[in-house]
Structure formats: structure tokens, C-alpha cells
Amino acid sequence: MDSWDALKTECSSCRACPLCEGRHNLVFGVGNEQADLMFIGEGPGEQEDLQGVPFVGPAGKLLDSMLEMIDLDRSMIYIANMVKCRPPNNRDPQGAEIAACRSWLDRQISLVDPKLIVCLGRISATALIREDFRITREHGRWFDLGSRRILATFHPSALLRDPSRRPEAFMDLREIRKEYRALKSSHNL
Ligand code: SF4
């Protein structure tokens, strides 16, 4: 049976893809390890690589504000990325890197066992929902992923680059809050 200790220890020394060469820190994941809601981004940026924590820096601050808007904070969710080591110059992680890193993420998902997953951006949505997923057209909709439900919204970095997307992202957040509240009230029945 898997455990967080085993997973963290094994993952910390991973050299399964070339991204290990440039990392200062492997960015494993953070948050509530029994959360009902898990957020999955792309990969660490510069600050994340330096601090070893996902979603710090400007995109992280925006993510915190987004969570606050829907009455959540980091203690209530779990956050991870598709790849745990920083791609050079903040480029998108490549397919082979995502594939090499996938087993770590799958084990995180199994251990957290969230009922709801939110993909932050195109990279995690195409990896976890559907290869041809179009974030601009299909964001904000729930899909089934086995026994879980999964939705994609814009990555905070994309919202920093293109603030015109923020109203759409806000609608997605409202949808996440609605589903999360329904889940919590069903637990209390
Ligand atoms: S990105 Fe993932 S697969 Fe590649 S070295 Fe880092 S932890 Fe291992």
C-alpha cells in the first residue's frame, strides 16, 4: 500500500527526465493531503524552483486571490503540477517530460483521493481530460474522470498576461464553488 512518506522519498531523488538537470528544488506539491478538491498546474516557474513550493510569486498570489473569492484557502485544497522540475526558461513541459513525471502525479491523486479536480491551464487539461481539449471553449465544464469530476480553467499566469479572460475565469470559480458546496453538503446529510 502506498504512503505519502514513500512517495515523497522516492520522488525527491527522481532523475527520470532531463528536467532534473536544471532544478534547484523539486517542487512536489502542497496542501491538505485529504482534500476533496485538488488543483493541478503545469510546472514550476523560477520562484517555485527556488523555494520548492508550487504557485508562489505573482501567479501564486493571483491563485490565492482566486481561492479567496470562492471561500477557499490553501489549507483546504491540494496543489500539484504535471511536472515537478522547472522547464528551462519557463517553457511548456514537453510530452515526454509529462509522461515521465505522470506516475508521481497519479500517486498523489490516489493518496489525496479528491472528489473534484481543477486543471489550471491547457497543459494539465490536455493531459488529464482529453488530448484535444480546448481551454478557450471548454473551460468551466465538469467532465467525469472515473469516480471523480474534473474541470479546467485558465492558468493564473495566463490571466496575468491576458486580464480580459478574468470575467470568464470568475464564472469558472463560481462553478467550482457551487460543486464544492454541493459535495460538502452531501457529506453532511
Ligand atoms: S520532472 Fe518529474 S520525471 Fe522529470 S526529473 Fe523531475 S520529478 Fe522526475
- Which ligand 1 atom sits closest to the C-alpha of 23? 6
> Ligand 1 mean position to 184 CA, how many Å?
34
For the record, the C-alpha cell of 32 comes out as 491538505
Give the C-alpha separation, 85 to 68, whole Å: 27
pLDDT tens-digit series, residues 11-29: 999 999 999 999 999 999 9
Distance of CA 28 to the CA centre of its chain: 11
pLDDT on residue 189? 62
> Ligand 1 mean position to 81 CA, how many Å?
11
pLDDT on residue 19? 98
Asked whether 48 lines ligand 1 (CB < 6 A), one says no
Residue boundaries of the structural domains of the chain: 4-187
Give the C-alpha separation, 162 to 151, whole Å: 20
- Which ligand 1 atom sits closest to the C-alpha of 20? 5
Give the C-alpha separation, 22 to 104, whole Å: 19
8 Å CB contact between 129 and 122: no
Mean pLDDT of 49-61: 94
Q: What is the CATH code of the structural domain delimited by 4-187?
A: 3.40.470.10
- DSSP-assigned beta bridge partners for residue 164: none
Nearest CA to ligand 1 atom 2: 101
Cα–Cα distances in Å, from 67 out to 72, 145, 170? Answer: 5, 23, 10
* Helix axes 95-112 and 4-12, enclosed angle (nearest 10): 160
Query: Phi, psi at residue 138, to the nearest 5°?
Result: -115, 5
Within 13 A of 116's CA, how many CA atoms are on the CB side? 21
3-state secondary structure 20-85: HHHCCCCCCCEECCCCCEEEEECCCCHHHHHHCCCCCHHHHHHHHHHHHHCCCCHHHCEEEECCCC
pLDDT on residue 114? 98
Task: Give the model's confidence band at 187: pLDDT under 50 very low, under 70 low, under 90 confident, else very high.
Answer: confident
Asked whether 99 lines ligand 1 (CB < 6 A), one says no
- Which ligand 1 atom sits closest to the C-alpha of 97? 4
> Ligand 1 mean position to 27 CA, how many Å?
10
pLDDT on residue 102? 98
153: nearest Cα among 177, 185, 183, 181: 177
> Ligand 1 mean position to 31 CA, how many Å?
20
What does the mean pLDDT of the chain come to? 96
**Ligand 1 pocket: which of 8, 13, 97 to mutate (most atoms within 8 A of CB):** 97
